[in-house]
Amino acid sequence: MQNRVNDQPAFILHRRDFQESSLILELFTIDFGRISVLVKGARKRRDAAYFQTGHRLQLGWGGRSALKILTQIDCRPLQIPLKLYSCVFYVNELLLYLLPREQEQRDLFHRYQHLLLELAQHQADDSLEAVLRSFEMDLLQQLGLMPDLTMEHYSEQSVQAVLHYTFDMLTGLRRCEDGSEAGFGGGELLSIQQRRFDTTAVLKAAKRLMRKIIDYNLQGRTLQSRKLFQQLNKKP
């Protein structure tokens, strides 16, 4: 990586306080993927409000080590409703775990930006699940972790809408008797593949399937944000 970078589109995935008034930012940048930068005195600065997750930033930094030093920041704020930040944190945590460091991920960056814009413009609750599932698929696809949902893994036969399948990370899709609770309808799988989340049945199946694939790729780590928001929403 070159020594100095300017005007790099970026989003903050995570911020943590460092020493008295500084911050360490975990960033998703357009050309360098995931990187970490140190912002000295960030919490005292006039532009402290920029250093928040969910804003479109243009950043500059220097330094050769894994932790860069921030040199420039411009911000185009996004107004994401507070209630929707559970989605932002969830997606950010996924990216923190799954994105490789300092590797360009342009397409995924654009999808992420698109997701935040959708959240900022979001009105009612209904389509959020579809938006999230769609982004999860983008993420897994870009990282080469998304299985093909149109074909059985071993037999290489096309998935058929009227049949039923089980899914396992090691054996992939396999035909099974219908009525199996852990299974998926062929029609659901094909809808998911085409991202047609029109019915609650497809959305439910998609959630179950994506959860399976994501959990496998998290390699035993638990998503803190998922746990926390479940806990917060459960309280009487």
Partner 1 sequence: MSSSAALDNLIDALCCLPGIGRKSAQRMALYLIDKNRQGAQAIAQNISAALDKVGHCERCRNFSDAAHCQICENAKRQDGLLCVVETPADVMAIEASGSFQGKYFVLLGKLSPIDGIGPDDLGFDLLQQRLESEQIDEIILATNPTVEGDITAQYIADLAARYQIKTSRIAHGVPLGGELEYVDSGTLARALNARQLFS
Site for partner 1 in 152-211 (CB under 8 A): none
Instruction: Single out the residue of 1, 7, 44, 157 in contact with partner 1 (rule: CB under 8 A).
Output: 44
Instruction: Single out the residue of 82, 124, 162, 170 in contact with partner 1 (rule: CB under 8 A).
Output: 82
**Amino acid in position 40:** K
Residue span binding partner 1 (CB under 8 A) among the ranges 60-68, 175-183, 204-212, 222-230: 222-230
Q: Does 84 bind partner 1 (CB under 8 A)?
A: no
Residue span binding partner 1 (CB under 8 A) among the ranges 18-26, 139-147, 176-184, 192-200: 18-26
Q: Which helix (H) or strand (E) holds 166?
A: strand 164-168
**Amino acid in position 189:** L
Answer whether 10's CB lies under 8 Å from 28's CB: yes
Residue span binding partner 1 (CB under 8 A) among the ranges 104-112, 131-139, 179-187, 225-233: 225-233
Instruction: Single out the residue of 49, 161, 169, 182 in contact with partner 1 (rule: CB under 8 A).
Output: 49
Q: How near is the Cβ of 154 to partner 1 at its closest, in Å? A: 38
> What are the distances in angstroms from CA 8 to CA 64, 74, 91, 162?
16, 10, 21, 48
Residue span binding partner 1 (CB under 8 A) among the ranges 38-46, 61-69, 157-165, 191-199: 38-46
Instruction: Single out the residue of 8, 52, 160, 193 in contact with partner 1 (rule: CB under 8 A).
Output: 52
DSSP track, 12-79 = EEEEEEETTTEEEEEEEETTTEEEEEEETTGGGSTTGGGSSTT-EEEEEEE-SSSEEEEEEEEEE---
Q: Does 96 bind partner 1 (CB under 8 A)?
A: yes
Q: Does 83 bind partner 1 (CB under 8 A)?
A: yes
Residues 6+ apart with CB under 8 A from 209: 167, 184, 189, 192
Residues 188, 191, 192, CA angle at the centre, nearest 5°? Answer: 85
Q: Does 40 bind partner 1 (CB under 8 A)?
A: no
Q: Which is nearer to partner 1, 43 or 212 (CB)?
A: 43
CA distance 8 to 223: 28
> What are the distances in angstroms from CA 143 to CA 59, 95, 137, 159, 185?
25, 11, 10, 24, 26
In the shown chain, the binding pattern of residues 127 to 156 toward partner 1, with x for contact by CB under 8 A and - for none, equals ------------------------------
Residues that bind partner 1 (CB under 8 A): 14, 16, 19-21, 43-44, 46-54, 82-83, 85-86, 89-90, 92-93, 96, 224-225, 227-229, 231-232, 235
